């Protein structure tokens, strides 16, 4: 069985590969979903298919890596609030289940009150592409929403990653500094900021934590 440590290493190497590709050729990606697909492929390719396979408590044969896996917390995405008994669940762009827990948890629950019996989202990744004429407040709302999902304790995320790609954005203003102030609320989440502005691409973290060879954008 693949170890949790291996999965973290595979995830972080794949994130580094994604950022390296973006830095070299920023327009390799047409949409945000291209970023999702590239990262999913990079992670998945680093193990044999059999190492990704697992079986859940309710007898479902599945794999550890998933797109759009739901949160266990309920939210008001518009108000950026959590803790609702009714309301929508969020979804992570990419997630990896805890390989040590798959046989003890369900693939999907029947009752809406039993979300904690679903799989342990050991690793969760959120990605965002901001460009063109997107408004500042719209971009900040998306950033806060992703961060809220990653840091909600009920979602059980042990390794959370938020990747923000900015490409020739006319309304960029002081977005990076505002996002850094929000990221400080989730020091257990790795927040990476990758920006192309004219002919320059910079990449670094928005928290004080180092990540591989990426240093904080703000010292």
Q: What is the pTM of this model?
A: 0.96
Q: Are 100 and 89 in contact (CB under 8 A)?
A: no
Parse the chain into domains and list their residue ranges: 4-205
219 pLDDT higher than 90: no
In this prediction, residue 210 has a pLDDT band, given cuts at 50, 70 and 90, of: confident
pLDDT at position 83:
83
pLDDT of 86 > 90? The answer is no
How far, in Å, CA of 93 to CA of 70, rounded? 9
Strands (E), the chain: 53-55, 61-63, 65-76, 81-82, 88-97, 121-132, 159-169, 189-197, 200-205
Give the pLDDT confidence of 131-179 residue by residue, as tens digits: 999 999 999 999 999 999 999 999 999 999 999 999 999 999 999 999 9
| pLDDT reading at 187 higher than 80 | no
Q: How far is CA 209 from the centre of its chain?
A: 17
Mean pLDDT of 60-68: 98
């Amino acid at each position: 069985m693949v170890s949790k440590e291996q999965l973290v290493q595979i995830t972080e190497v794949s994130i580094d590969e994604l950022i390296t590709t973006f830095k070299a050729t920023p327009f390799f990606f047409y949409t945000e979903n291209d970023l999702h697909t590239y990262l999913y492929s990079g992670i998945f390719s680093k193990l044999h298919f059999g190492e990704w396979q697992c079986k859940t408590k309710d007898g479902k044969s599945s794999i550890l890596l998933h797109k759009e896996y739901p949160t266990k917390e309920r939210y008001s995405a518009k108000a950026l609030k959590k803790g609702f008994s009714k309301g929508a669940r969020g979804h992570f762009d990419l997630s990896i289940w805890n390989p040590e827990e798959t046989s003890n948890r369900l693939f999907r629950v029947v009752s809406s009150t039993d979300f904690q019996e679903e799989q342990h989202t050991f690793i969760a990744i959120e990605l965002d592409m901001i460009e063109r004429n997107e408004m500042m407040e719209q971009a900040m709302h998306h950033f806060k929403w992703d961060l809220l999902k990653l840091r909600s304790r009920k979602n059980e995320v042990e390794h959370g990653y938020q990747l923000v790609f900015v490409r020739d954005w006319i309304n960029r203003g002081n977005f990076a500094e505002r996002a850094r102030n929000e990221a400080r609320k989730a020091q257990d989440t790795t927040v990476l900021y990758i920006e192309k502005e004219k002919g320059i691409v910079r990449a670094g973290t928005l928290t004080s934590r180092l990540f591989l060879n990426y240093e904080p954008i703000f010292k």
